[in-house]
Structures are given as C-alpha cells and as structure tokens.
Amino acid sequence: MTNVPSTHGDRFPELAAMVLKHAKTLGATEADLLVAEGDSVSVQVRMAEVDRLSKAREKVLGIRVFFGKRSASSSTSDFSEASLDRLVSDTCSLAKAVVEDDTSGLPASDQMAAEIPDMDMRDSRQLTVDEEIDLAKRTEQSALKADSRITNSEGAECSAGYGSILLANSHGFVGSYASSSYSLSVSPIAVDSQNGGMQRDYWYSVKRKFQELDSPEQVGQEAARRTVRRLGSRSLSTQEVPVIFDPEIAQGLLGHIASAASGYSLYKGASFLMGQLGKKIADESVTVVDDGRLANGLGSRPFDGEGLPTRRNVVVDKGVLTSYLLDTYSGRKLGMTSTGNASRSVGENPTVGTTNLFLSPGTSSPEEILKSTKRGLLVTELIGFGVNMVTGDYSRGAVGFWIENGEIVHPVEEVTIAGNLKNMFNDIEMIGNDLVFRGRTASPTVKLRKMMVAGH
C-alpha cells in the first residue's frame, strides 16, 4: 500500500478502498472492512465527591478476508502504512490456513443497502467534564433530598459518547453513520429506622439526544421512590399466583424470545423455538417487533453489520412466531435469507443482534392491571440466570411487592419464581399501555395468569 491517507473520518472511504485493494492483490476473493471511531466521557460521583472519571478515544479498523470458503478476521488501532500492510498480509495468511466452511462468504452484492438514509442519530451537544460532574451531583443530590430515609448512595453517573462507523466491502459497498448517546443514573441506599434494614435500587435515563434526557431531578426522585418502597421487605409462603412483571423486568422476557429466535441458537439446536416458525407460541395479545429504523431508537442504524438495510421485523404477530432473527451466515445454515440483524464488533465475525426490540403495548394501564389481581406478585427485580434456552425452563430469584385485592400491601424479597417460557408466553393475560424506551429493548407491564412463587 502506498500513500495511506490521513485518517480523519472523511478520509476513511479512501483508506478502506486501499486496504480492500491490497487484500485483493494478495489473492483474497472477497473482503470487508469496518472502521469505528469514538469518544466517550464518563463521570461517577458518590456522596458529592468525584469517584471516577474516564475519558476514552478510540479508532479501530477490522478486516475480514475470504479465500474461497476460508476466512479470517483481525483488527488494529495503528493506522500507519506499515501496520495496515501487515494487518492485511497476516489476515490473508491466516485465512489460507483455516479449514473451509461452505456457509461462509459475504452477502450477495444485490442485497447490500442501496440507499443510506440520514437517520439523525447524532447530537452536536458536547458535554464538558464539569457539566457531567454537575449533572451527576444533581442527580445524586435529588435522590438524597427526596426522602429522609435515604442516607447513602452507591453513586450517580453521567456519561456521553459520540461515535461513527464505516463499513466497506469488495462488492463496492461503502456506508457510514454517526451516533451519540447520553445517560444519567443513580443508586440510592435507604435505611429502615425501625429495624435498621437497608435497601438499594436505581433509576436511569438514556437517549441519543441530550435535550431528550430526563432531568437529574426526575432521575434522582424516581430512584429514591423505588428504593424507599422496598423497605420492610419480607418473604412469602410457597404458592401459585398471578405474576406481574414491571416494564424493566418484562424486557428480559423479550430478550429470551430474541435469543431463542436467533439463527445461531436455532441451527445449533439450542432453542426452545426450534420448528415453531408459523406456529402459535404466545397469547394472541403478544406482538413482538424488532425495528432497526425506529426514529431516535438507541438500536437504530441505516444498515446492519454486513451492509444490509435494517428493517422492521415482526418476530411474533398476535401470538404466532412469524420471523427468526438472522444474519447471512445463520440464514444460509437454515436455508433462509438475512433479516438485516447482523451485529458486529470490529475484527470479529458478524453474529445476530437485535436493534430496537419491543412488545407492542396493550390497552390496560398499570393501575388497571394491579386492580385486576386479587392475590399476586409484582416483580421489580430478578436475580440469577436460571433460564434454560433449550427447554425453556425458568427459575429466578425475585424482588417485588405482594398484592391483595388489587393493592400493594408489602414489599417482597427472598422468593423464587419458576415456570417454563413456553407456558409463560401463552399465560400472558394482560399487557400494559406504558411502553417507554429506556434502552434498545422495551416492554410495557405484563401480567401472567400464574407462576409458582417459592418462599420459605
């Protein structure tokens, strides 16, 4: 390679073309390349003192080369001519040495994103370190001031990140986009004056645009409310009752569906959704969508990790499993085409990832769901990872609130909820109207007809 261009973001397409050309001259039949550049600043304060401050600036280039059905991937953060020369030649040598894989290869050229819309995912608002410290301190302060029982804190954090991605391949595809994210969080600790018991909880806000972030006061007060309401927690006797998952916890159920519907789980035979495409897997009130084009979504992007256009995939439609989540490789393994869900780290092979995954909201308010429950458990935190994705068996420690006659009567801890995901999705009885995105996965409140709740 000669005359490597200076590596400002606007020169990355030129750099990518040169690296791909070099791979071709060394005999590569196909290749693709990913360049990621980013800045992030994160501040943590605890009891009004700065506890941790981290600034990171990274720039990484990863290449994947194919020699027929053999391939290898590698990456570097050194953009000098000598380093890039070595990266390409070493990766080509590696690719020639590995075993053939009939499924490998780039997507077909006619599948690449033909248009790359500007999805307005980057905010120009650059936060200074002092601004972040102030925001974190205000968040923690508002939590501490909200209730006299909040006497301590595990800290508040403010972070901001700005990044850009460029993807190019030997089909001639070149695509790039920029994005930003801002977040605030705090974890207060409350003490029960009667018995000295302590509880902690947290709250947070994450957005692409700074002005859409919840205020420090909103985040702090909600964290305080969630923490104080847990004071006086106790266990339950073992019984089978309706269980309500609050939105933060119901997200996890969607994660299990996405994991089970991932092409990699399916072709390896490690999913409880094997052979279920086109069949009813949940109550007809359940519609699960993965939408890579959602406006301002934290998982939105114009193309996936292979350069295919992202899209709206309805995974579950009125209880019926209507789509798997696939990249090119897992799609070929299953005799299907990619759903635009390739996810990728620099220097790694693509895999399957969700974009903006959500459960479509129902018509009931969280209050109506609560009122419909004569006796049951509202779950607000889960502990442990007792989920078998092959069988669907589900058993996890839970924290929450006991419900009697439609009202919360006391907080609950040290219980286990158990069931099987196949039954749980069919047992969904009510879905809330309270869908709010706080990350890439979102769910409203969800009520299940029954689960086994095991206490002392």
Contact 416, 453 (CB under 8 A): yes
d(CA 222, CA 216): 10
Output the CA torsion sign for 357, 362, 366, 371: negative
At 223-241, the pLDDT tens digits run 999 999 999 999 999 999 9
Residue 193 has what pLDDT? 81
Cβ–Cβ contacts within 10 Å for residue 110, how many?
A: 7
Q: Helix, strand or coil for residue 20?
A: helix
Region 182-209 average pLDDT: 94
297 φ, ψ (degrees, to nearest 5): -65, 140
Domain ranges of the chain: 9-40+56-111, 239-250+361-454, 253-355
CA distance 101 to 80: 32
Structure tokens of 52? 């941790």
Letter for the amino acid at 69?
K
Instruction: Tell me the residue type at 434.
Output: D
4 pLDDT exceeds 50? Answer: no
pTM score, whole prediction: 0.95
Confidence grade of residue 9 (pLDDT, cut at 50, 70, 90): low
Determine what percent of the chain falls in helix, strand and coil, rounding each to the nearest 5. 25, 40, 40
Place of tokens 């307005």: 120
Would you list the DSSP string of 257-306?
HHHHTBHHHHHTT--TTTT-TTSB-S-TT--EEEETT-TT-TT--SB-TT
Amino acid letter, residue 122: R
At 196 the pLDDT is 77
Bridge partners of 168, per DSSP, are 33, 174
392 dihedral zone (left: phi>0; alpha: psi -120 to 50; beta):
left
Q: Helix (H, G, I), strand (E, B), or coil: what is residue 190?
A: strand
**pLDDT reported for residue 195:** 79
Q: What is the pLDDT of residues 253-283, one digit of tens each?
A: 999 999 999 999 999 999 999 999 999 999 9
Give the number of residues written for the chain. 456
Is the pLDDT at 368 greater than 80? The verdict is: yes
Residue owning tokens 């990484």 = 60
* CA proximity to 417, closest of 389, 446, 376: 376
Residues 84 and 109: beta-carbon distance below 8 Å: no
Question: pLDDT (tens digit, 9 = 90+) per residue, 380-407?
Answer: 999 998 999 999 999 999 999 999 999 9
What pLDDT shows up at residue 11?
Answer: 84
Residue 106 carries which DSSP code?
P
pLDDT digits (tens, 9 = 90+) for 317-342: 999 999 999 999 999 999 999 999 99
Is 295 in contact with 305 (CB distance < 8 Å)? no
**pLDDT-derived band at 200, boundaries 50, 70, 90:** very high
Tokens of 164: 């850009």
Query: For the chain, what percent of residues have pLDDT higher than 90?
Result: 95
Inter-axis angle of helices 216-228 and 129-146, to 10 degrees?
A: 40
Measured CA distances, 5 to 13, 276, 454 (Å): 10, 51, 64
Pairs from 265-269 (Cβ < 8 Å, separation ≥ 24) = 265/389, 266/324, 266/330, 266/334, 267/330, 267/333, 267/334, 269/390
The tokens 């608002």 sit on which residue? 125
Mean pLDDT of 180-196: 93
Question: Contact at 8 Å (CB) between 447 and 283?
Answer: no
Q: Quick one: 9-40+56-111 is in which CATH superfamily?
A: PmbA/TldD superfamily (3.30.2290.10)
Region 5-26: mean pLDDT is: 84
Q: How far apart are CA 135 and CA 233, in angstroms?
A: 32
Distance CA 192, CA 189 (A): 10
